[in-house]
Structure 1
């Protein structure tokens, strides 16, 4: 495999790690913390809205939840893989910036996008957790990328 392909694979693998960490945080916390962000609810609403607009039957809530988690993992993995565009030594800065941008977007854009604000803005703690967890996902992706690049 050439260097370019290796770099792409490292970036994608790093994105998968970041997305996995973020999803694990969301899914674990929602069972234990009353004010936990609910990215799964946002995903379910987005899928339901899309299916309704194209006049397709909406699956059960359980199946919709699975679709939302899958969509979150794929989209966040691709997003966090952008850490691979960072110059060497700047992976952590890039991961932090990616996470911060995603977290702020998850808090500030859900209302205007018609997905509601409660899943990420129910309380100040909910908003803070949302932003923090996306940053943690970005840092996980950055850390993984830095380690993979050293191999």
Structure 2
């Protein structure tokens, strides 16, 4: 596995995912997944456990977006640069999407941001899948160009 192509692919997938989430939350405010809300809740929870000061909303939002791109980029970089990167991207995306629907409640972050309606659940899984596919497709293209 080549590190730089894998990271480039992973961050492309994470960027695609974040853009989808941000555009949709403005276009479909009633049922779009709000992973930004889950991220901010997670950040605030971690800061609370560390007895650290809580940031204002704007600062928390920026930190959450940076954290989302970083963590999703590293996650999607697991597609690697091998022959089956597209298939791995699909599987990683579906797994992340299902996790995005199932895990927030048990983690104490609330369920509504990703689990509010059937459409919200479907969009959550679909958008993470798109992110994984973007990562896999770019990894595949980079592999062929070498």
Count, aligned residues: 144
1:138 to 126, 129, 132: 132
Is 1:43 the counterpart of 2:68? The answer is no
Q: Distance in 1 between matches of 2:69 and 2:104?
A: 18
Is 1:17 the counterpart of 2:12? The answer is yes
2:24 corresponds to: 29
TM-score (norm 2): 0.96
1:58-77 matches, cutoff 5 A: 58-77=54-73
Q: Which runs of 5+ in 2 are unaligned?
A: none
Q: Which runs of 5+ in 1 are unaligned?
A: none
Q: Distance in 1 between matches of 2:50 and 2:68?
A: 21
Q: CA deviation at 1:52?
A: 0.9
TM-score (norm 1): 0.93
1:148 corresponds to: 142
What secondary structure does 2:19 align onto? helix
Structure 1 runs of 4+ with >6 Å offset: none
Is 1:116 the counterpart of 2:110? The answer is yes
Q: CA deviation at 1:92?
A: 1.5
